[in-house]
């Protein structure tokens, strides 16, 4: 073996040149920089005091080098893998602390790694709720629907079905804008009430159904009122009558009924106006517009009586 392989300069080059050119540069940096005449690596310094032949020293030095590098660059020990129950407990702790971003990660680990676990439907549901609490409604809907498709007999299926409708309602636009999401939520709530009549969330679903009806009714009312204000009375009547037919149980039914009577009054169709004012007073006697409707009706009746004389 050539003597140059045992020289301090060669050993330094091996120890530090390889380390600097490999992905383990920083792990090998504890050997320290080497430059200038007479500087040697600590490993060669230690070996130099031992009375071995140069060839043996070289072998020992190289062995020491590759041992250190292999220890520094070897694969990291795998992280501890929790069982299903412990993983669920960890995710649930993050959820209860309202660390929903972390909870999402931990619930996902459970869902992906333990698809047959006893707690998997609970994890799937809480994963959806975690997204919901972050106001990420589209992803929440995706996770709730996964529970419904994968675990239809789960005790949480009714909760998931309700949350799908609730998320769609949350994504719906203001009343004056497009109400596609509200209509979708309305249909989902009707399906929920048909599929889970005994659910503990029935009252919530009914209340939300009323809100959906009210929001859709407001959209129709605003359209009808707009046409009324620009004196397009026939167009106004189409919207307002549609509201009465579809959403008579909402708070917008009373002003819609009043404006139906007003539209006929403005067109001087007084007989139809009288009939609509009378309907208003019969159906909404306590409404704030009742006084005005009564005044209109009295005026029309008075004018009608004078005409007969």
CATH classification of the domain holding 243: 1.25.40.10
Average pLDDT over residues 227-241: 97
42 or 285: which carries more pLDDT confidence?
Answer: 285
Could you tell me if 51 and 162 lie in one domain? no
Average pLDDT over residues 190-208: 96
pLDDT tens-digit map of 86-95: 999 999 999 9
Could you tell me if 114 and 195 lie in one domain? yes
Could you tell me if 123 and 209 lie in one domain? yes
Return the closest-CA partner of residue 267 out of 289, 235, 239, 242: 235
Could you tell me if 115 and 196 lie in one domain? yes
272 or 62: which carries more pLDDT confidence?
Answer: 272
Could you tell me if 36 and 133 lie in one domain? no
**HSE-up of residue 157 (Cα within 13 Å, Cβ side):** 15
Could you tell me if 185 and 242 lie in one domain? no
Tell me, yes or no, whether 225 lies in a domain.
yes
Rounded to 10 degrees, what is the CA torsion of 264, 268, 271, 275?
30
Tell me, yes or no, whether 78 lies in a domain.
no
**HSE-up of residue 232 (Cα within 13 Å, Cβ side):** 11
Could you tell me if 30 and 133 lie in one domain? no
* Final residue in a domain of this structure, among 171, 194, 215: 215
Could you tell me if 137 and 201 lie in one domain? yes
Q: How many domains does the chain have?
A: 3
Could you tell me if 43 and 110 lie in one domain? no
Could you tell me if 207 and 225 lie in one domain? no
pTM listed for this prediction: 0.67
* Final residue in a domain of this structure, among 73, 94, 125: 73
Could you tell me if 193 and 170 lie in one domain? yes
Give the pLDDT confidence score for residue 302 in this predicted structure: 82
Rounded to 10 degrees, what is the CA torsion of 170, 171, 173, 178?
-130
* Final residue in a domain of this structure, among 49, 73, 97: 73
Element (DSSP H or E) covering residue 307? helix 290-308
> 101 is in which domain, residue-wise?
84-215
Is pLDDT of 145 > 80?
yes
């Amino acid at each position: 073996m050539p003597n140059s392989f045992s020289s301090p300069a060669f050993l330094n080059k091996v120890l530090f040149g390889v380390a600097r050119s490999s992905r383990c540069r920083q792990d090998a940096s504890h050997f320290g920089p080497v430059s200038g005449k007479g500087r040697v690596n600590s490993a060669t310094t230690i070996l130099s005091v031992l009375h071995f032949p140069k060839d043996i020293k070289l072998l020992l030095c190289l062995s020491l080098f590759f041992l250190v590098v292999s220890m520094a660059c070897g694969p990291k020990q795998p992280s501890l893998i929790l069982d299903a129950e412990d993983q669920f407990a960890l995710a649930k702790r993050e959820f209860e602390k309202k660390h929903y971003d972390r909870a999402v990660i931990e619930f996902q680990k459970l869902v992906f790694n333990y698809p047959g676990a006893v707690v998997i439907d609970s994890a799937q549901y809480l994963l959806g709720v975690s997204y919901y609490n972050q106001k990420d409604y589209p992803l929440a809907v995706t996770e709730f629907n996964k529970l419904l498709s994968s675990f239809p007999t789960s005790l949480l299926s009714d909760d998931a079905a309700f949350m799908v409708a609730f998320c769609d309602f949350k994504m719906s636009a203001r009343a004056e804008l497009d109400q596609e999401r509200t209509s979708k939520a309305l249909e989902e709530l009707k399906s929920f009430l048909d599929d889970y009549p005994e659910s503990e969330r029935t009252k919530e679903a009914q209340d939300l159904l009323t809100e959906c009806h009210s929001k859709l009714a407001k959209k129709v009312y605003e359209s009808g009122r707009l046409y009324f204000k620009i004196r397009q009375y026939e167009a106004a009547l189409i919207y307002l009558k549609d509201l009465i037919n579809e959403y008579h149980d909402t708070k917008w039914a009373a002003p819609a009924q009043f404006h139906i009577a007003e539209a006929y009054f403005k067109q001087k169709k007084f007989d139809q106006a009288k009939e609509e004012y009378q309907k208003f007073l019969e159906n909404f006697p306590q409404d704030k517009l009742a006084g005005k409707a009564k005044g209109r009706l009295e005026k029309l009746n008075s004018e009608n009586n004078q005409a007969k004389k």
